[in-house]
Structure 1
Amino acid sequence: MARVDVRPDGRARDRRAVPLLAICLAVGLTVVAVPVRATAAPAATRVAATEPAAEPGGDTPTAEPTDAGPVPTEAPPTTAPPPQTTPPAAPTEPAATTAAPPETAPTTAAPTTAAPPPVRPPAPAPDPPASPAGVRVTTDDITLTPAYWNAPSTVSTLRVTITNTGTTPARIRLAYTLPAGLTDAGTRGCAAAGGDGEHRCGEWASAPGARFSALLRVRVAGDAWRRMPLGGSVRVTANAPGANAPVGDDEGFAVLFPPGPPVPGIRVDAGEVSFDIGGVASGLDVSLDNTGRVDADGRIEVILPAGVTVPAPPAGCVPVTPDRTRCELGTVAAGRGARLRLPVSATPEAQRRAPLAGAVLGQLDPPSGRTRQVQMSFRITAAAALATPVAAPPAPTGSQGVLAADAPAGGADGGDGSVRRTAVLLIVISTLLVVFALALAIASLRRRLAAPGGGPTTAPTE
């Protein structure tokens, strides 16, 4: 019987090649889509982290519940503020250079133990809503001239400069504390509030970014110099619609006396002490001059405010009390002088309250005759006081597990480095798969064109 052998033609081979080509293309497109989604998801998360939280509405009462006494209904008169000065910038530490660890080839051996499941941290507490109120205060000093020694009392002015650093109009109130020996000389819009030199003033209506000054009239008693060093403080409070609570700022001021009371034959001088942003002081330079005609034994005493000390007194100096250091200078010849430099340190709180005042007391004791003594104040400043963060709306922060848009994650290359490398690797693999699928399709078409057409063939009869 004749046997018929039917060979598959080109169309049958094409039907088998088409499913293979479709499978390869589907796998390639799937692999390409995976890195795209992987890289897009973190970007969306970072953008969402920068959206500020909604602010609650409503007005906040402007009265301070903790203050007692009458509240003045009139605000002090304002004047043009002094030119702004840029506070010293904090030194920036050089970025640490870290070398990326060498990449090791992955091992094919399977681990012997399964990794423990990841432990999810507890959900963080929600961030407090941002406050639209903000305020900043700066003060000058009360600087007295030599005319102070010829008057029973002296009236001086204290300039206070206030800046609305918030984003909304606010009601700003001022309060200040005067040290012993100083009283208010009739500042309009301000009144005494209890004892201990406390005073309060009326409110200003301030627009966002507004900056203005007020002059406080202060009377200095003729014997106030006996209590030096003297200093006070100024506080401001801002209330704004939408703020959960009032915000405030404070700063100290110094009362600077000239050398005196004037005594012939002696002169004393002291330089300003300045703390840099790192809390290191320039030191205190003191000089005592014998302007008389007779040699005398010299002595200097340095009196410092609370929180400021002389950590390592030089030779000839000893601490008498925590705030007082005494230095014996030996014999100071007539027409000559003695110079001294003392190291000074201060606590962070004392630096934050700057400017402060210290005092220097100089004494000359001749072998015969009356002891001569004179004293003066000197100023203590700190860069930390100028760099104190201003009360202002805090910036929104991302919750745990959400990255901020400009905050890279840990690692030498940032948190997106491994994701980016994985995406590139998957794109390369998918490209190779697509190329392989196209090669199969081209080979199939070539075989189809090269194969001779023909029908069924009949095998020879046995």
Structure 2
Amino acid sequence: MARVDVRPGRRVRDRRTVPLLAISLAVGLTAAAVPGWATAATIPARLATPATEPAGEPGEEPPTADPTDTGVPTEAPSTASPPPETTPPVATTEPAPTTTAPQEPAPTTTLPTASTPPPPPSAPPVRPSVPAPGSSSLPPVGVRVTTEDVTLTSAYWNAPSTVTTLRVTVTNTGAAHARIRLAYTLPAGLTDAGTKGCADAGGGDHRCGEWTSAPGARFSTLLRVRVSGDAWRQMPLSGSVRVTATAPGAAPASDNEGFAVLFPPGPPVPGIKLEAGEVAFDISGGASALDVRLGNTGRVDAAGRIEVVLPAGVTVPAPPADCTAVSPARTRCDLGTVPAGRTAHLRLPVSATPEAQRQAPLAGAALGRLDPRTGRARQVQMSFRITAAAALATPVASPPAPTGSQGVLAANAPALGDGGQTSSVRRTAIILITVSALLVVLALALATTSLRRRMGAPVIERSPAPAPTD
């Protein structure tokens, strides 16, 4: 019988197949991970590269202000401790997130030997204003301003004029040291009462010196204003405050916010009482409501009437019954007879344009009148506050993207200015991932084929050669 000679080469090849498959699989997995590393290391490194052209030559002094502009003070107003952060109005939609600035000392006041001229005070910037993304590779500049109101007490009615303060809080929301300059506009009947570091620019506008502020710094300043004794005749009265932040080589940022001048009910007259609530617009910008109460504290019945005066951009879209729109800004409502010792309640729907909401807080005025059958008519008026959540939704400057040494790609990294480089990196990553996947599939196919061959091959044993016969 013929012997079957099975060479050991096939078994040797089978034993070598498994290590080769393991090596191929490891290479494929490694290649699949390489594109992520390459992309994460390439893009942030390019993002973190500073501009090749500096803003100015080393050692060169920045440009100085126009020598003819003598209205800009060379000293910044004094600073004070800022008030605690307040909770924004309830909104139907989640507003833009706000960050709590770290506790830092008040910024140092410096003499602005060289500064960027402030924006024209006659045209306040639209809130919010943020530097355009990708405009500079340097840390972004950001600033936010909040104001309180000029609130007068009942002592106002006994003085020819009243001096009070307006608190303004400024926050450096950027990631760079910035020079912050402040300007404000006072309405008719209000004048500056000698705020140190600020100067009159005409037309109710005022300009102040600048502060040098660190990233995240938050501080307040108090503006002294004088309210004339007859300013109540021109209510409602509102003003505005504007801030501008600049840094070398970075795009400037600005913000503005209004403030209301709130008068108490008056001039005081016996037998009548007036109350007006606050109008608040949520983040949706939909219509709100104003509640006004007119009380007859006298001894005889009287016919009641309420007039509401609203600022520009705020209107009563659908006056209720017994109410008439005297003008776009004035609505008159007849309440009928108000018995002695009773209070009449009026609720008006109020709407505002997006521009008016961005300029909030604003002020409106309510006038109440009681006309009895006998005796003299009694009339008082007061201011009420108009707020909007849209005025608080100011986006802060984005923090710088992480560098390549961190080994990850920031999710909010800004897009590269060169779109060709971005698409090239993506194409390379896709190609590497595809090749890695093919290698893994090929390795699995080879492993499967090898196992099938080994399981289906016949078992052939070597028989010892027969002993030679004599």
Same-fold call, TM > 0.5?
A: yes
CA contact (8 A) 2:133 2:414 kept: no
Stretches of structure 1 lacking an aligned partner (at least 5 in a row): 94-124, 404-415, 458-462
Residues 169-189 of structure 1: CA distance to partner in whole angstroms, max 9, x if unpaired?
222111100011100001111
Distance in 1, Cα, partners of 2:195 & 2:204: 14
Matched with 1:290 is 296
SS class of match (2:335): strand
Q: Which of 41, 45, 56 is 2:35 aligned to?
A: 41
The answer as to 2:189 corresponding to 1:172 is no
Distance in 2, Cα, partners of 1:34 & 1:315: 78
Distance in 1, Cα, partners of 2:337 & 2:327: 25
Matched with 1:232 is 239
Matched with 1:161 is 169
Which is further off, 385-394 or 84-93?
84-93
Pairwise CA distance, 1:285: 0.7
Once the two structures are superposed, the pairs formed by residues 288-327 of structure 1 within 5 Å of their partners are 288-327=294-333
The structure-2 alpha-carbon separation of the partners of 1:9 and 1:391, relative to structure 1 and needing over 3 Å to count, comes to: closer
The answer as to 2:222 corresponding to 1:215 is yes
The answer as to 2:447 corresponding to 1:434 is yes
CA contact (8 A) 2:266 2:381 kept: yes
Distance in 1, Cα, partners of 2:324 & 2:442: 79
Residues 372-425 of structure 1: CA distance to partner in whole angstroms, max 9, x if unpaired?
21110001111221222135668632356969xxxxxxxxxxxx9xx89x95x9
CA contact (8 A) 1:32 1:426 kept: no
Matched with 1:76 is 77
CA contact (8 A) 2:182 2:209 kept: yes
Matched with 2:193 is 185
The answer as to 2:462 corresponding to 1:451 is yes
Distance in 1, Cα, partners of 2:93 & 2:292: 33
Residues 350-372 of structure 1: CA distance to partner in whole angstroms, max 9, x if unpaired?
21211111110111222333322
Distance in 2, Cα, partners of 1:391 & 1:14: 72
Distance in 1, Cα, partners of 2:224 & 2:301: 44
Matched with 1:200 is 207
Q: Which of 248, 251, 276 is 1:245 aligned to?
A: 251
CA contact (8 A) 2:28 2:440 kept: no
Once the two structures are superposed, the pairs formed by residues 356-367 of structure 1 within 5 Å of their partners are 356-367=362-373
Residues 181-216 of structure 1: CA distance to partner in whole angstroms, max 9, x if unpaired?
1000011111011x2201011111222222211111
Distance in 2, Cα, partners of 1:189 & 1:396: 40
Distance in 2, Cα, partners of 1:303 & 1:324: 5
Distance in 1, Cα, partners of 2:65 & 2:242: 13
Distance in 1, Cα, partners of 2:253 & 2:308: 37
Matched with 1:143 is 151
CA contact (8 A) 2:148 2:259 kept: yes
Which is further off, 222-231 or 431-440?
431-440
CA contact (8 A) 1:144 1:257 kept: yes
Distance in 2, Cα, partners of 1:255 & 1:146: 14
SS class of match (1:344): strand
Distance in 2, Cα, partners of 1:429 & 1:62: 66
Residues 57-88 of structure 1: CA distance to partner in whole angstroms, max 9, x if unpaired?
447958777x9552111111111111122446
The structure-2 alpha-carbon separation of the partners of 1:89 and 1:265, relative to structure 1 and needing over 3 Å to count, comes to: closer
Pairwise CA distance, 1:19: 6.1
The answer as to 2:404 corresponding to 1:397 is no
Query: Among the aligned pairs, what percent are the same residue?
Result: 62
The structure-2 alpha-carbon separation of the partners of 1:27 and 1:393, relative to structure 1 and needing over 3 Å to count, comes to: closer
SS class of match (2:233): helix
CA contact (8 A) 2:93 2:284 kept: no
Distance in 2, Cα, partners of 1:442 & 1:80: 83
Larger radius of gyration, structure 1 or 2?
Answer: 1
CA contact (8 A) 1:32 1:430 kept: no
Matched with 1:337 is 343
SS class of match (1:187): coil
Distance in 1, Cα, partners of 2:153 & 2:335: 28
Stretches of structure 2 lacking an aligned partner (at least 5 in a row): 95-131, 401-411, 424-429
Distance in 1, Cα, partners of 2:267 & 2:369: 12
CA contact (8 A) 1:61 1:239 kept: no
CA contact (8 A) 1:172 1:205 kept: yes
SS class of match (1:226): helix
Residues 283-308 of structure 1: CA distance to partner in whole angstroms, max 9, x if unpaired?
21101111222322211111111121
Distance in 1, Cα, partners of 2:186 & 2:375: 39
Pairwise CA distance, 1:44: 4.0
Distance in 1, Cα, partners of 2:28 & 2:92: 45
Q: CA RMSD in A?
A: 3.8
TM-score for the superposition, normalised by structure 2: 0.74
Number of residue pairs the alignment of both structures matches:
400
CA contact (8 A) 1:62 1:171 kept: no
Matched with 2:5 is 9
The structure-2 alpha-carbon separation of the partners of 1:61 and 1:279, relative to structure 1 and needing over 3 Å to count, comes to: farther
The structure-2 alpha-carbon separation of the partners of 1:62 and 1:314, relative to structure 1 and needing over 3 Å to count, comes to: farther
Matched with 2:97 is none
Distance in 1, Cα, partners of 2:312 & 2:41: 48
Distance in 2, Cα, partners of 1:184 & 1:79: 19
Amino acid at match of 1:433: L
